[in-house]
């Protein structure tokens, strides 16, 4: 961990971090608000709500790019963690994502991590 190196890097990015956070928050807040509302209203998430929530999560991951798509791909294989409807939705990230250049994906993942 090199704090100075990290600070130098982000000082050259001219607002990129703020733009990325704005995009992330624009996707995460509505989703998390919906989850919270369901918990407050019903005390749980009804099975009937899961497909729509899962679709919303998949679309957000696609919008957020390669890092989040990869996250969705990884959790789409975890039946011990997520319900079947969510696994089915996220499995679309395995083979139904619009293709993009591998170098672009690697560069973006490295930049975001």
Q: How far apart are CA 79 and CA 77, in angstroms?
A: 6
Nearest to 34 by CA among 18, 19, 46: 46
The sign of the CA dihedral 17, 91, 86, 98 is positive
C-alpha distance across the termini of the chain, in Å: 13
Q: What is the mean pLDDT of the chain?
A: 89
Q: What is the pLDDT of residue 14?
A: 82
Burial status of residue 38 (CB atoms within 10 A of its CB: 0-12, 13-18, 19 or more): middle
Q: How far apart are CA 50 and CA 39, in angstroms?
A: 13
Q: Quick one: pLDDT band at residue 63, thresholds 50, 70, 90?
A: very high
Question: Is 86 within 8 Å of 54 (Cβ atoms)?
Answer: yes
- Dig out the tokens for 99 from the structure: 């293709």
* pLDDT > 80? residue 101: no
Q: What is the mean pLDDT of residues 12-27?
A: 89
- Specify the pTM: 0.73
């Amino acid at each position: 961990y090199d704090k100075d190196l990290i600070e130098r890097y982000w000082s050259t990015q001219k607002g990129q971090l703020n733009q990325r956070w704005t995009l992330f928050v624009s996707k995460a807040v509505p989703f998390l608000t919906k989850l919270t509302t369901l918990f407050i209203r019903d005390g749980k998430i009804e099975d009937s709500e899961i497909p729509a929530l899962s679709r919303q999560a998949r679309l957000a991951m696609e919008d957020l790019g390669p890092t989040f798509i990869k996250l969705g791909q990884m959790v789409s294989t975890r039946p011990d963690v997520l319900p079947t409807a969510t696994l089915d939705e996220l499995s679309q990230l395995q083979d139904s994502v619009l293709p993009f250049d591998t170098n672009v994906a690697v560069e973006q993942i490295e930049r975001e991590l």
